[in-house]
Amino acid sequence: MNDLECRNCKKKISEEKFMSNLWICPFCGYHSYVSARDRIQITTDDNSFVELGNSIHSVDFLNFYDIKPYSTKLKEAKLKSSLEDAIMVGKAKIKNCNIALGVMDFSFIGGSMGSAIGEKIKIITDYSIEKKVPLVIFCASGGARMQEGAMSLMQMAKTVSCINRIRENKIPYFCIVTNPTSGGVSASFATIADIIISEPGALFCFAGPRVVKQTIKKSVPSDFGTSERGLKNGQVDIIVSRNDIRDTIAKLLKLFKR
């Protein structure tokens, strides 16, 4: 196996060691990227995840072209990630408790939210309501899928109305914020959960410090847009190391059990 480099402290880590440490740097504790499939594997009971809505995928309905056609970007993202879009949803178990689960993957066009994500959130919230099981979503997103124009922005309204139905049905919803969670996802379903858990050091904001600095032409605090600042200000309920997220969700599931 190859040596990898920590993005934060730049120290070399063997791939084997990094994997066994759940992609947390053993030197500085930096929580590195985890794919949706690995996240499911480390969080849920063995072989309990059954994917729903796996035929849903994004379509280039605007024939959008920037550096390259959106249709080409989609094909490349699918090949690179082996995913249909930037979220996987399905039913699963955590310590024998049934849940409806959504897990975003940043490697698929920056976890950007297009119409396929909105539809998959709809599928998993419908399942959660039908089966009366808690909803758990892991977020990772750079914002809107601009290649889908206004349709991308409409997913904020769509996903919020899905979560509102979860609330009307008195079903618990836990969101786990991972690095980064920003833009349209942070402005919709990531910030309206009953409990918002974050991994340490996650960027969790609408616009990141660089964009805000450029816009207001003033410096911003060093912890601007971090989960740690969100915790101080009440936007985040708890910051939990990746090692303890499965246990924390299991405790919450028991606590909220009806």
- The footprint of Zn ion (CB under 5 A) covers 6, 8-9, 25, 27-28, 30
Burial class (CB in 10 A: 0-12, 13-18, 19+), 255: exposed
Backbone angles phi, psi at 130, to 5 degrees: -60, -45
Least CB distance to Zn ion at residue 23 (A): 11
Least CB distance to Zn ion at residue 19 (A): 15
Nearer to Zn ion, 169 or 241 (CB): 241
DSSP letter, residue 233:
H
CA atoms within 13 A on the CB side of 165: 16
How many angstroms separate the CA atoms of 63 and 256, rounded?
46
Q: What residues have CB less than 8 Å from 201, skipping those under 6 apart? A: 8, 29, 30, 31, 179, 226, 227, 228
Nearer to Zn ion, 10 or 210 (CB): 10
Torsion sign over Cα 229, 232, 235, 236: positive
Identify whether 180 is preceded by a cis peptide bond (ω within 30 of 0): yes
Least CB distance to Zn ion at residue 6 (A): 3
Least CB distance to Zn ion at residue 16 (A): 16
Nearer to Zn ion, 31 or 73 (CB): 31
Place of tokens 């409806």: 100
Least CB distance to Zn ion at residue 248 (A): 23
Nearer to Zn ion, 10 or 167 (CB): 10
Beta bridge partners of 88: 103
Q: 50-85 burial string, b = 16+ CB within 10 Å, else e? A: eebbeebbbebeeeeeeeeebeebbeebeeebebbb
Nearer to Zn ion, 25 or 205 (CB): 25
Least CB distance to Zn ion at residue 216 (A): 31
Nearer to Zn ion, 12 or 95 (CB): 12
Nearer to Zn ion, 25 or 177 (CB): 25
Least CB distance to Zn ion at residue 32 (A): 8
Helices (H) and strands (E) in the chain, counts: 9, 9
